[in-house]
Each structure stands twice: as structure tokens, then as C-alpha cells.
């Protein structure tokens, strides 16, 4: 059986040799030799925005629509909170898709994306906000108001 003390000494010797090759206090990444030179001129501070510069709600909504139409269709994960009735509806849609002919994978994400697409096509952002205000907050507890 090998002597464990000798093995420990070999490991320490290798580590010390590696440090000696690198130099004490040097990192593995190369050290910058030339100093960083900052530009002599400082940029002028930006003027504070005025109310006249602020876009209107309709202009902002139009801009968002243009941005979303230009964006590719890659999916990003999102977390949403749903009540039990909505959960039951999503599960019913999924079950109906499974037993339809031909079969359709009507998963929850696809169903929510379809609903949001239809909502976006039929209502403007202002109309959605107005409808949420009309329905009012549905949470009676403490914390953030939840509209539904």
C-alpha cells in the first residue's frame, strides 16, 4: 500500500511548483500592462425630458404593436396566477384536444397564447385596462390588488 504521507507531499510539491511557475500573487489571467486612458472630454449632460416629449398612450400602444410584430416568435417562460375555474377550463381544453380527431396538443401555454392573441386583436391596451377597472379588484386580503 502506498504511503499517504508521501502522496500528500507529492501533491503539495506539484502545487508549489505550479505557483512558482505562475509567480506569487499573479492571477491566471494576464495582467494589463498599459494603463487605461480616459477621454479628456466629458459628455454634456442630457436635458431633462419635458411633458411635451412624453408619448401619448395611443402612440405608445402603436409603438408596442410595431415592436411585437417585428419581434421573432421565440417563446419566453412566464409565470401567471390562475384561479381554480380558469385552471379547470385549461384542463378541459387540453382534454378536448386529446380526444379530438386528429389529436391536438392543446396544452395550457398554447391555450393562454391563443387567448392573449385574440384579446390583443379585439381590444386595445386602453380597453383592457378599462375593463380591468370596471371589474374591480377581486382580492380582499392584504397585499397587491389582483384584477381578474
Residues 58-72 pLDDT 10s: 666 666 666 655 556
Cα 64 to chain centroid distance, Å, stands at 17
**Residue 133 sits in which domain range?**
81-137
- The whole-number pLDDT of residue 143 equals 65
- The whole-number pLDDT of residue 97 equals 92
Q: Which residue has the higher pLDDT, 108 or 35?
A: 108
60 falls within a domain = no
Assigned C-alpha cell, 116 = 392573449
Residues 79-99 pLDDT 10s: 888 889 999 999 999 999 999
The residues, ordered by sequence, that sit 6+ positions from 119 with a Cβ below 8 Å of its Cβ are: 128
73 falls within a domain = no
21 falls within a domain = no
76 falls within a domain = no
- The whole-number pLDDT of residue 88 equals 93
Q: How many domains, the chain?
A: 1
Amino acid at each position: 500500500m502506498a504511503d499517504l504521507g508521501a502522496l500528500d507531499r507529492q501533491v503539495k510539491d506539484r502545487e508549489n511548483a505550479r505557483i512558482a511557475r505562475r509567480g506569487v500573487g499573479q492571477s491566471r489571467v494576464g495582467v494589463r500592462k498599459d494603463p487605461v486612458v480616459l477621454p479628456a472630454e466629458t459628455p454634456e449632460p442630457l436635458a431633462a425630458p419635458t411633458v411635451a416629449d412624453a408619448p401619448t398612450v395611443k402612440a405608445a400602444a402603436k409603438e408596442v404593436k410595431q415592436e411585437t410584430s417585428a419581434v421573432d416568435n421565440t417563446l419566453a417562460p412566464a409565470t401567471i396566477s390562475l384561479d381554480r375555474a380558469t385552471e379547470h377550463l385549461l384542463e378541459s381544453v387540453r382534454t378536448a384536444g386529446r380526444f379530438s380527431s386528429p389529436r391536438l396538443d392543446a396544452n395550457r401555454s398554447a391555450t393562454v397564447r391563443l387567448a392573449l392573441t385574440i384579446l390583443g386583436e379585439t381590444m386595445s391596451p386602453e380597453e383592457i385596462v378599462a375593463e380591468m377597472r370596471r371589474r374591480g379588484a377581486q382580492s380582499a386580503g392584504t397585499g397587491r390588488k389582483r384584477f381578474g
